[in-house]
């Protein structure tokens, strides 16, 4: 049995500056094996001009959340509860027509694999020009010029010629640049980047990440940046939300989450990740076990079967009561604030080398 | 999953002869033909996947091979295990030339060189039980360990941290990390002297990666097995390997002990690679301490690689000499023994931040210039 002591209302809606606000979002998929609770009771805000980094392992619900924001889930097999408010507009109940006007215009997405996300049948220039024509009503010629301009901006050499090429004629890094150009062509207020550099080489990744940062300065969009790589998130995000098994377990500014993390899962991630400057004498400390199945998630704290700090909480609170996450800097864990601080300083930090 | 693993004592051969070359590749080359044309398909070009590389893996050593996609690191692994036929060069294993060895001649050596693959989903036969998968290599090589094969399989499962009772399960009943452990157990079944691990952890989640890296490290140290560890993740390679080679477009451009490569690199590409790794700064030290190099564009095609130094098209130091003359892989003055670099105009041996960032990407440079104004 899971008892909930605090209500999610504790996560009060952010101030007027919060541009996207997600409240108590739940997403369930009906599958052959049962109902998958991909996202369960998630709340967060994104402000204009800021980057929220969502970090988590596969199956933590980070991608599903963002597909739901853009209404890209399959409505037949998916149940969505809660609220998603983008710039004052409620999206969960919005019609397909309303979503169509919003996608690519107010909110755009960059996908992980640019080769499958781009159509092989149309030229790159045409694919970039199309959303611009649709949303602004520009002429064919004006849209094409805009596409060429965007390709130049994201660093495609010789953009007039390359706009006439097909995606297969582009290299991996160039395709991802074309995707970025397509996402930014209508000057969106919200950009969702779902693992945009995971498929790229490290030197190309560095170029793309810096490009996104510089373009954000110019366009002033809010960015939701999804990744499993803590190094990338440290580089990109202003704020971080850590997700595990369909829920957020820790949030704060990048500095807070990476320098003084509070949740045992975040500690585990940091300890298990080799770094270029880590001490070679200390072996990596993996998180024991494997991520849970979302068909039948663990009771209480979802992380408790893998957590080594359960005994410090005492009793069976971790098994029976799901810890909730506050709106600002907080972590969903039953350890007291004092315990979190001392455990990190005395036991975790020395092992980070 | 057990973390305290009990491993058998290292075999004498490995313990006694450390430092002796186990596998030597010289001038190793692999070109894949590109076919084209109609109606008669002809060879119209060659993908120069690996083009004349020299490598030495010593007994009991872990040797890391890093590089970006298309640099030929996986092809090198497959050449060394003789899964691919080399176009040129020689491979010798414990002093014996095995470059052109026939199937029969190779048979006794095959069991000593094993491989761990990247994808734990496609590298295990879904129709075989774990017991069958792990005992397969013993069957093929006609090895009958004392106590029977089944007992040995149970031992191996225990070594890699799986429940020996899971002997009769099928691969789909295991998670990705557990499957990779099965792959490790299979590689260990024949008591190999060299394991070629091709991106063994890159398909796994972060929290699981560390479990497998630790397991491989334990196996390497306690059983004294030499590893050729192929990966694109520089931090993982640093953690695992004593010596590291950096590849670019089918060539080894720098090789040396771990410390030299990661803190005193000389080749501009090694500098660029290290500076591109996104890092978490957990200690709260100075963030601007690392150099920042942003290359332009992607790796050129290996079908028609640049003349001379292959990195020159993306290098900020390139001059006419780089196009005309291929730089030899040599020891530069001031470098440690065994630290070899192939560059005409090497960099300073430091990874500290430079006075001016190197930004070659035109889009980045343009955006950053307007910022400064």
Answer with the residue of higher pLDDT: B355 or B329: B329
Q: How far is B286 from chain A (nearest CA, A)?
A: 13
User: Which token pair is A343?
Assistant: 């455990």
Q: Read off the pLDDT of each residue in A33-59 and give the average, rounded to a whole number.
A: 90
Q: Is the pLDDT of residue A169 over 70?
A: yes
Share of chain A above pLDDT 70, in %: 95
| Tokens representing residue B253 in the block | 């451009």
Q: Do A172 and B298 touch (CB under 8 A)?
A: yes
Higher-confidence residue of B70 and B28: namely B28
Contacts of B210 in chain A (CB under 8 A): 271-274, 284-287
The number of C-beta contacts closer than 8 angstroms across A and B is 156
Mutation to test the A interface, candidates B66, B257, B280, most A Cβ within 10 Å: B280
Cβ separation of A203 and B68 shorter than 8 Å?
Answer: yes
What pLDDT score was predicted for residue B205?
82
List the single best residue of B362, B363, B373 to mutate versus A (max A Cβ within 10 A). Answer: B363
State residue B284's pLDDT score: 61
Verify whether the Cβ–Cβ distance A290 to B175 is below 8 Å: yes
Residue of B207, B232, B281 to mutate for A, most A C-beta atoms under 10 A: B207
Q: Please determine, for residue A103, whether its predicted confidence score (pLDDT) is greater than 60.
A: yes
- Looking at beta carbons, which residues of chain A come within 8 Å of B299? 201
- Please report the pLDDT score of residue B288 as a whole number: 62
Report the distance separating Cα B41 and Cα B27, nearest Å.
30
Instruction: Test B207 with A202 for CB contact under 8 angstroms.
Output: no
pTM for the full model? 0.87
The end-to-end CA distance of chain A, in Å, is 40
Chain B: give the shortest CA distance to residue A231, in Å: 4
Work out the mean pLDDT of chain A and round it to a whole number: 87
Asked if the C-beta of B121 comes within 8 angstroms of chain A's C-beta atoms, the answer is: no
Quote the pLDDT of residue B371: 66
Per-residue pLDDT tens over the stretch A170-187: 888 889 899 999 999 998
The yes-or-no verdict on residue A12 having pLDDT over 60 is no
Residue B85 touches chain A, beta carbons under 8 Å: no
Residue A2 has pLDDT above 70, yes or no: no
Residues A11-21, mean pLDDT to the nearest whole number: 62
Q: What is the residue-averaged pLDDT of chain B?
A: 87
- Per-residue confidence band for A153, with pLDDT thresholds at 50, 70 and 90: confident
Residues from chain B that touch A249, judged by Cβ atoms under 8 A, are: none
Residue A268 confidence (pLDDT): 92
Q: What is the share, in percent, of chain B residues with pLDDT greater than 70?
A: 93
Decide if pLDDT at B9 tops 80: no
User: For strand A107-110 and strand B88-93, is the pairing parallel, antiparallel, or unpaired?
Assistant: unpaired
The whole-number pLDDT of residue B18 equals 52
Q: Which long-range contacts (CB under 8 A, 24 or more apart) does B212-215 make?
A: B212/B177, B212/B180, B212/B181, B212/B184, B213/A274, B213/A284, B213/B239, B213/B240, B214/A283, B214/A284, B214/A286, B215/B5, B215/B160, B215/B161, B215/B181, B215/B184
Using a CB-CB cut-off of 8 Å, the residues of chain A touching B281 are 234, 258-259
Q: Is A207 on the interface with B (CB under 8 A)?
A: yes
Structural domains present in chain A: 21-106+188-352 (3.40.50.300)
Residues of chain B in contact with residue A174, where contact means CB-CB under 8 angstroms, are 297-298
Average pLDDT score over residue span B254-258: 95
pLDDT > 80? residue B169: yes
Query: What CATH code is assigned to B12-241?
Result: 3.40.50.300
* Whether B364 contacts chain A with CB within 8 A: yes
Domain ranges in chain B with CATH number 3.40.50.300: 12-241
Confidence of residue B2 (pLDDT cuts 50, 70, 90): very low
Give just the sign of the alpha carbon dihedral A268, A274, A278, A282. Answer: positive
| Average pLDDT over every residue of B6-18 | 43
> For residue B148, what are the β-bridge partners?
none
Q: How far apart are the first and last CA of chain B?
A: 57
The answer to which of B10-14, B103-107, B174-178, B205-209 has the lowest mean pLDDT is B10-14
Which of B205, B361, B371 is nearest residue A228 as measured by Cβ atoms? B205
pLDDT score of B118 more than 90:
no
The predicted pLDDT at position A39 comes to: 92
The answer to whether A67 faces chain B, any CB pair under 8 Å, is no
Candidates A44, A92, A27, A46; CA nearest to A188 is: A46
Which pLDDT does position A261 carry in this prediction? Answer: 93
Stretch B297-312: mean pLDDT: 89
| Residue A144 pLDDT level (bands cut at 50, 70, 90) | very high
Contact list in A for residue B232 (CB cut-off 8 A) is 201-202
When pLDDT is cut at 50, 70 and 90, the band that residue B142 belongs to is confident
The percentage of chain B sitting over the pLDDT mark of 90, rounded to a whole number, equals 48
Mean pLDDT calculated for residue range A304-322: 89
CA A33 to CA B224: how far, in whole Å?
45
CB contact under 8 A, B279 and A352: no
Whether the predicted pLDDT of A276 surpasses 90 = no
pLDDT of residue A45: 92
**Contact check, Cβ <8 Å, B206/A230:** yes
Q: What is the ipTM of this complex?
A: 0.83
Residue A197 has pLDDT above 90, yes or no: no
**Any bridge partners for residue B257, and if so which?**
B243
Alpha carbon of B119: minimum distance to chain A alpha carbons (Å): 15
Task: Look at residue B3 in the predicted model and tell me its pLDDT.
Answer: 44
* Binary contact (A276, B279; C-beta < 8 A): yes
Mean pLDDT of B280-296: 76
Question: Strand B88-93 to strand B21-36: parallel, antiparallel, or no bridges (unpaired)?
Answer: antiparallel
Q: Which residue out of B282, B289, B290 would a mutagenesis test of the A interface target, given it has the greatest number of A Cβ atoms within 10 Å?
A: B282
Q: Is the model's pLDDT at A314 over the cut of 50?
A: yes
Q: Is the pLDDT of residue A5 over 60?
A: no
**Partner-chain contact A201 B68, CB within 8 Å:** yes
User: Does residue B44 carry a pLDDT above 70?
Assistant: yes
**Whether A290 contacts chain B with CB within 8 A:** yes
Say if residue B5's pLDDT is above 70: no
Using a CB-CB cut-off of 8 Å, the residues of chain A touching B272 are 203
Q: Do A57 and B205 touch (CB under 8 A)?
A: yes
pLDDT computed for residue B302 by the predictor? 87
Of B157, B114, B120, B159, which is closest to residue B137 (Cα–Cα)? B114
Q: Residue written as tokens 């190099």?
A: B293
pLDDT score for A353: 67
Kindly tell me if the per-residue pLDDT of A252 is higher than 90: yes
Res. A240 pLDDT band, cuts 50 70 90? very high
Most confident of A273-287, B146-160, B259-273, B352-366: B259-273
Which residues of chain A does B284 touch, with a Cβ-Cβ cutoff of 8 Å? 259
């Amino acid at each position: 049995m899971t008892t909930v002591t605090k209500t999610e209302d504790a996560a009060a809606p952010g101030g007027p500056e919060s541009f996207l606000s997600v409240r108590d979002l739940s997403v369930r998929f009906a599958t052959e094996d049962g109902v998958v609770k991909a996202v369960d009771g998630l709340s967060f805000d994104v402000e204009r001009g800021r980057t929220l980094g969502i970090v988590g392992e596969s199956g933590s619900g980070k991608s599903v959340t963002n597909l739901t924001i853009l209404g890209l889930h399959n409505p037949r097999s998916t149940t969505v509860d809660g609220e998603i408010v983008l710039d004052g507009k409620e999206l969960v109940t919005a019609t397909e027509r309303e979503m169509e006007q919003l996608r690519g215009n107010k909110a755009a997405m960059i996908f992980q694999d640019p080769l499958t996300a781009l159509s092989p049948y149309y030229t790159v220039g045409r694919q970039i020009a199309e959303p611009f024509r649709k949303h602004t009503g520009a002429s064919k010629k004006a849209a094409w010029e805009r596409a060429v301009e965007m390709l130049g901006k994201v660093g495609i050499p010789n953009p007039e010629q390359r706009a006439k090429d097909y995606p297969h004629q582009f290299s991996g890094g160039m395709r991802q640049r074309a995707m970025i150009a397509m996402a930014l062509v209508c000057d969106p207020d919200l950009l969702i980047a779902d693992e945009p550099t995971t498929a790229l080489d490290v030197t190309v990744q560095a170029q793309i990440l810096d490009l996104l940062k510089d373009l954000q300065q110019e366009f002033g969009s809010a960015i939701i940046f999804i990744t499993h790589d803590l190094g990338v998130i440290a580089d990109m995000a202003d704020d971080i939300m850590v997700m595990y098994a369909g829920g957020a377990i820790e949030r704060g500014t990048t500095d807070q989450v990476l320098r003084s993390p509070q949740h045992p899962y975040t500690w585990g991630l940091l300890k298990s990740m080799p770094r270029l400057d880590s001490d070679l004498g200390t072996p990596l400390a993996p998180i024991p076990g494997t991520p849970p199945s979302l068909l039948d998630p663990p009771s209480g704290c979802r992380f408790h079967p893998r957590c080594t700090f359960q005994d410090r909480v005492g009793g069976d609170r971790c098994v029976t009561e799901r810890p909730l996450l506050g709106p600002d800097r907080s972590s969903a864990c039953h350890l007291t604030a004092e315990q979190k601080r001392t455990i990190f300083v005395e036991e975790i930090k020395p092992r980070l080398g | 999953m057990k973390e305290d693993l009990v491993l058998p004592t290292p075999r004498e051969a490995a313990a006694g002869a450390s430092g002796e070359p186990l596998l030597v590749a010289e001038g190793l080359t692999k070109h894949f033909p590109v076919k084209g044309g109609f109606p008669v398909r002809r060879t119209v070009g060659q993908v120069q996947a690996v083009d004349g590389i020299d490598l030495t893996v010593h007994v009991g050593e872990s040797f890391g091979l890093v590089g970006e996609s298309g640099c030929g690191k996986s092809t090198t692994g497959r050449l060394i295990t003789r899964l691919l036929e080399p176009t040129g060069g020689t491979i010798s294993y414990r002093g014996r030339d095995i470059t052109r060895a026939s199937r029969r001649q190779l048979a006794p050596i095959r069991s000593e060189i094993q491989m761990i693959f990247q994808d734990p989903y496609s590298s295990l036969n879904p129709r075989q039980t774990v017991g069958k998968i792990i005992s397969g290599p013993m069957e093929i090589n006609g090895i009958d360990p004392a106590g029977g094969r089944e007992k040995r399989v149970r031992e191996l499962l225990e070594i890699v941290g799986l429940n020996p009772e899971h002997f009769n399960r099928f691969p789909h009943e295991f998670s990705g990390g557990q499957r990779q452990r099965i792959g490790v157990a299979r590689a260990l079944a024949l008591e190999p002297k060299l394991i070629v691990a091709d991106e063994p952890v890159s398909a796994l989640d972060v929290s699981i990666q560390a479990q497998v890296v630790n397991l491989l490290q334990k196996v390497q140290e306690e059983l004294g097995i030499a590893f050729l560890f192929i990966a694109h993740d520089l931090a993982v390679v640093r953690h695992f390997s004593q010596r590291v080679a950096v590849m670019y477009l089918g060539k080894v451009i720098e090789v040396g002990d771990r410390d030299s490569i990661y803190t005193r690199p000389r080749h501009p590409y090694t500098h660029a690679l290290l500076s591109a790794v996104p890092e978490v700064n957990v200690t709260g030290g100075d963030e601007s301490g690392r150099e920042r190099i942003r290359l332009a564009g992607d790796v050129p095609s290996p079908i028609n690689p640049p003349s001379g130094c292959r990195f020159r098209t993306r290098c900020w130091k390139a001059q006419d000499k780089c196009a005309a003359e291929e730089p030899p892989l040599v020891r530069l003055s001031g470098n440690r023994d065994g630290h070899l670099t192939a560059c005409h105009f090497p960099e300073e041996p430091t990874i500290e931040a430079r006075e001016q960032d190197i930004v070659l990407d035109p889009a980045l440079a343009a955006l950053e210039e307007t910022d400064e104004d």
